[in-house]
Amino acid sequence: MQIFSNAFLWIEGKWTHFPQSILVDSGRISEIFEPRQALPANTSIHDLKGHYLYPGFTDTHTHSFEGGLYSLGADLSACGDIAEVLAKLDAAYQKADKEDIIFAWQLDENQLTEQRFPTLEELDAVIPNRALILRRIDGHSCVLNSFARALIPELETQNHILRGKENDKAVHFFHQRLNPETILQAYQAAAQHAMQGGFTGLHTMIGDADYSITHYQLLRDNLDKFPITFTLYPQSFNLRAALDAGATRIGGCILADGSIGSGTAALSKPYLDGVNRGVLYQSDAFWHTFIAETTQHDLQVAVHAIGDRAIRQINSVYLSLPETAALRHQLIHCEITDDQLIAEIARSGAATVMQPNFDLLWGGRDGFYARKLGIERSLIMNRFKALTRSGIKVCGGSDWYITALDAALSIRAAMNHHNPLESLSHPEAIDIYTRNAAWLSHEEETRGKLAKGYTADFTIYDQPLDCPTAEPELTCVVCKGEICHGE
């Protein structure tokens, strides 16, 4: 047994008036002590110095394998021009072993002076004889060098920039060639990133978004090796494989549409180019058959849907199934929603899994959303408050590796939406990463709040996350009763 003492506690949506103490036994909260209550003797005590202790935060939508794997590769997020991109790639090439695949990520061509991807010739000049896969920041586009392209006979396009199914084909071709040791190393890296960002749990997708669940069983059988809690989604349309693996949910980033950045998010009205409305990746009949069958097996379904046309396509199936609310079927991202669509989601009982960092990065009158879709539509994007007000459960994610795995950043982004009408209060923003996250995984009786019998997952800052005068600093992360990060 051990005691975490002298901390303000976040209980039922507010702080305790005075610092209190928590007794932890076997990874669970055994007792919460009042300020002057005597503490048990002969117990290890951790003095938290009057800091602020939240229930452990859970990110409900991550690509943890890719994030962990790519964090060991070339990060292009800070590059300002093609020369910087090529310099980063060359540095990765110089460090690579002969058989290594070089993964590069976080490229946003819109931030480069040239406003484009590197050409094939530029990539070949710096990496001539190793496989290189370079992914756009949203994960929905990538480019390869010639060495990598030659390894994938299944590619059906000569286009340099791979999008849609060709993008997925290239990505999974290389992911599936990694050995178990490298795969587990990637998840260990993801766990470390999670704790450094204030998270004690991650929901993660495993599979090729088609008909393979890739290394799902490998991670399932090694969950006890990680300090944090991974909640697993077989990211596949292969229902039989998911059932055989003992899964209770399916999906994550099985795609109803693509992304706004790649012009493939499915919209009811065109992008500002006046022509393109994006892409619905599957027919209405396909989704109805798939979701109805998975529902019959009591599997929770989670589908990526960004544009309003894609959201309505999936939610229409959810509306037709009375089990949606009980199973807590998910609309992942759910970025563009007018009032009528929000009312339809409320009727279906679906949950929304959303990313506050999307608005932080791309919202605003001069932001990326407005430039792609116009100011009017940018105001009905990432509508955290309107959805919450309608009784819809909003759950918080980062879509890491797409945006940073940083709980404070995400929570404060939810509280400071570019459209003030969609900003969440501090308690509401905390809920989407605690109580709502636990509810989403059907664990609301064991996780997501500070109470006797609940898992001892804590995230501790020196200031509350709504502190107006100082930037809160993460001081400690406790997973299952053990200090895993910080003091």
Q: State the CB neighbour count (10 A cutoff) for residue 230.
A: 20
pLDDT tens-digit readout, 14-42: 999 999 999 999 999 999 999 988 899 88
Query: What digits encode the pLDDT tens for the residues 58-71?
Result: 999 999 999 999 89
Determine contact, residues 18/35, Cβ cutoff 8 Å: yes
**138 pLDDT more than 90:** no
Secondary-structure class of domain 66-175 per CATH: alpha beta
Q: What does the pLDDT average to over 109-133?
A: 96
98: pLDDT strictly greater than 90? no
Closest CA to 313 of 294, 336, 295: 336
106 vs 79: CA distance, rounded Å: 9
Instruction: Report the amino acid identity of residue 125.
Output: A
- What percentage of the chain reaches a pLDDT higher than 90? 90
The answer to whether residue 50 scores a pLDDT higher than 80 is yes
In this prediction, residue 334 has a pLDDT band, given cuts at 50, 70 and 90, of very high
Q: Does domain 2-56+450-486 fall into CATH 2.30.40.10?
A: yes
Q: What residue segments make up the domains of the chain, in order of their start?
A: 2-56+450-486, 66-175, 180-440
**What are the φ/ψ torsions at residue 397 (nearest 5 degrees)?**
-140, 175
Evaluate if residue 238 carries a pLDDT over 90. Answer: yes
When pLDDT is cut at 50, 70 and 90, the band that residue 99 belongs to is confident
**CA 178/CA 358 separation, integer angstroms:** 30
Whether the Cβ atoms of residue 465 and residue 472 lie closer than 8 Å to each other: yes
Stated pTM of the model = 0.91
146, pLDDT greater than 90? yes
pLDDT of 218 reads 98
The whole-number pLDDT of residue 212 equals: 94
pLDDT of residue 355: 98
Q: What is the pLDDT at residue 36?
A: 84
Of 110, 222, 83, 235, residue with least CA distance to 171: 235
- Radius of gyration, CA atoms only, the chain: 22
What pLDDT is stored for residue 100 in this prediction? 84
Superfamily (CATH H level) for 180-440:
Metal-dependent hydrolases (3.20.20.140)
What pLDDT is recorded for position 139? 86
Q: CA 210, 211, 215, 220 torsion: positive or negative?
A: positive
Taking only the tens place, the pLDDT of each residue in 374-417 is: 999 999 999 999 999 999 999 999 999 889 999 999 999 999 99
Q: Tell me what the pLDDT averaged over the chain comes to.
A: 96
What confidence score (pLDDT) does residue 373 get? 97
Query: Mean of the pLDDT values across residues 131-147?
Result: 93
- What is d(CA 357, CA 397) in angstroms, rounded to the nearest whole number? 9
At 168-222, the pLDDT tens digits run 899 989 998 899 999 999 999 999 999 999 999 999 999 988 999 999 999 999 9
CA distance 31 to 24: 7
Confidence bin at 341 (pLDDT 50/70/90): very high
User: What's the rounded Cα separation, in Å, for the pair 432 and 434?
Assistant: 6
Answer yes or no: same fold for 2-56+450-486 and 66-175.
Answer: no
pLDDT at residue 165, as a whole number: 84
In the prediction, which pLDDT does 42 show?
86
